[in-house]
Amino acid sequence: FCFLFFWFFFLLFLFIFLSFCFVIFSAFLYLFFFFLFVLLFLYFFFFFFFRCPFFFFFFSFCFCHFFF
């Protein structure tokens, strides 16, 4: 009985720990991709803004449409 009790608590702790790690990992992954997207957007923003204003408006529209 005591052994089963210990096993249950061990599995519960393991499940909570793994879910916590997964949440942290997914949050870091989301932040990483978000910053990657922002950096790419800024690169295109500066690259096309000095070349052609039409591209700047197009990319800004896409960017705003993606987030809102």
**pLDDT tens sequence across 1-57:** 677 788 888 899 999 888 888 888 888 888 888 888 888 888 777 776 666 556 656
pLDDT at 50: 64
- Look at the chain and report how many structural domains it folds into: 1
- Per the model's pLDDT, the better-predicted residue between 14 and 67 turns out to be 14
Taking alpha carbons only, the member of 43, 67, 44 closest to residue 55 is 44
Distance CA 59, CA 68 (A): 14
Please state, as a whole number, how many other Cβ atoms lie within 10 Å of the Cβ of residue 42.
Answer: 11
pLDDT at 41: 83
Q: What distance lies between CA 36 and its chain's CA centroid?
A: 10
Report field, pTM of the whole predicted structure over 0.85: no
Domain hosting residue 49, numbered range: 2-67
Taking alpha carbons only, the member of 42, 18, 22 closest to residue 30 is 22
Distance CA 48, CA 63 (A): 14
